[in-house]
C-alpha cells in the first residue's frame, strides 16, 4: 500500500490561511468516510485534529477544518499561529481493512 | 484519561528479535482495536499492524508481513508486537495507538513511543 500523497511543505504568514492536500485512490480516501488528520510536533505523540473526514475533537481549535472530494482530502488552517508549525499527516482506512498514512507535510509559519 | 506506555525498545542486530509491549490505562482496553505505528528517522508515519477488540482479527502491513505479529492480552490491558528477522530499515520509533472503535484501525490516542535501533 503506497503512502497517500501530501505536499512536502506548506508555508504561510501569521494570520493567513493554508490548505494541505492528501491524495489517495479508490482503495482508500475515495471509498471511506474514515479520514483522519494529525498534528505531530517532533518528539511528541501525534495528536488527532480531525477524524471521520470532518469531525473535530473538542480540544481541536475551530481554526482547523477539513473536507473531502473524490480521492483527495484537504485540511485548512485559518488564522495561522506560530504554534501551528509542525508536521501534519493524513491517514485513511482502506478496503483491505488496514490504515495508510500520508507522506506528511511540514507547515512553516513565516 | 487514556494512557499508553510503550516498552521493550532498544538496540538489536540485523536478524534479531524484539518484543514491544504497550501498557494501557484510562479506558476499557478490551473494547477497542489497537495499533502499532512507526516512524523511521527523518521519515513519515507508517502504519504497522492492528488487532480488533472482540474477534482478535489482526491486520499487518506488507512491509513487515511474515516477520512481525501483533497480539493483545485483555486480562493485562497490554498490547504486544513481536518483531523477528529485524532489518536495518525497521529502525524507528514505534508508537502504540488506541483506535476510535472496536473493529477498524483508525489510530486516535497515541503513546510517546519506544525507539528500536537495528544495526550491526
A to B CB pairs, distance under 8 Å? 62
User: In Å, how far is A49's CA from the nearest CA of chain B?
Assistant: 10
pLDDT tens digits for range B35-77? 999 999 999 999 999 999 988 899 999 999 999 999 999 999 9
DSSP-derived secondary structure letter, B30: G
In chain A, what residues touch B47 (CB-CB under 8 Å)?
Answer: 91, 98-101
pLDDT by 10-residue block (mean), chain A, 110 residues:
94 97 96 96 94 93 96 97 97 96 97
User: In Å, how far is B120's CA from the nearest CA of chain A?
Assistant: 25
Question: What gap in Å lies between CA B3 and CA B25, rounded to an integer?
Answer: 5
pLDDT for the residue numbered A1: 77
- The partner residue sitting opposite B106, judged by closest CB among A1, A96, A99, is A99
pLDDT tens digits for range B5-36? 999 999 999 999 999 999 999 999 999 999 99
Task: Show the cell assigned to B10.
Answer: 532498544
**Alpha-carbon torsion (B90, A45, B79, B30), positive or negative:** negative
CB contact under 8 A, B44 and A36: no
Task: Tell me the CA distances in angstroms from A39 to A75, A85, A90, A106, B36, one per residue in order.
Answer: 11, 9, 9, 10, 18
Question: What gap in Å lies between CA A47 and CA B6, rounded to an integer?
Answer: 17
In the predicted model, what is the mean pLDDT of residues B85-90?
Answer: 98
User: In Å, how far is A3's CA from the nearest CA of chain B?
Assistant: 8
Residue A32 near residue A18 (C-beta atoms within 8 A): no
Amino acid at each position: 500500500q503506497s503512502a497517500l500523497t501530501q505536499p512536502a511543505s506548506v508555508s504561510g504568514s501569521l494570520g493567513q490561511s493554508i490548505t494541505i492536500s492528501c491524495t489517495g485512490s479508490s482503495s482508500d480516501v475515495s471509498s471511506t468516510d474514515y479520514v483522519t488528520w494529525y498534528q505531530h510536533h517532533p518528539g511528541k505523540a501525534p495528536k488527532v485534529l480531525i477524524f471521520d473526514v470532518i469531525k473535530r475533537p473538542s480540544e481541536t481549535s475551530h481554526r482547523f477544518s477539513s473536507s473531502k472530494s473524490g480521492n483527495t482530502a484537504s485540511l485548512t488552517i485559518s488564522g495561522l499561529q506560530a504554534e501551528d508549525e509542525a508536521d501534519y499527516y493524513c491517514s485513511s482506512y482502506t478496503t483491505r481493512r488496514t490504515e495508510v498514512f500520508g507522506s506528511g507535510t511540514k507547515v512553516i509559519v513565516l | 484519561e487514556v494512557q499508553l506506555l510503550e516498552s521493550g525498545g532498544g538496540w538489536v542486530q540485523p536478524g534479531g528479535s524484539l518484543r514491544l509491549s504497550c501498557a494501557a490505562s484510562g479506558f476499557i482496553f478490551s473494547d477497542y482495536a489497537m495499533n502499532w505505528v512507526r516512524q523511521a528517522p527523518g521519515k513519515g508515519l507508517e502504519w504497522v499492524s492492528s488487532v480488533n477488540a472482540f474477534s482478535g482479527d489482526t491486520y499487518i502491513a506488507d512491509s513487515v508481513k511474515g516477520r512481525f505479529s501483533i497480539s493483545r492480552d485483555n486480562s493485562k490491558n497490554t498490547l504486544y508486537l513481536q518483531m523477528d528477522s529485524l532489518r536495518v530499515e525497521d529502525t524507528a520509533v514505534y508508537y502504540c495507538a488506541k483506535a476510535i472503535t472496536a473493529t477498524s484501525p483508525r489510530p486516535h490516542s497515541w503513546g510517546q513511543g519506544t525507539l528500536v535501533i537495528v544495526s550491526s
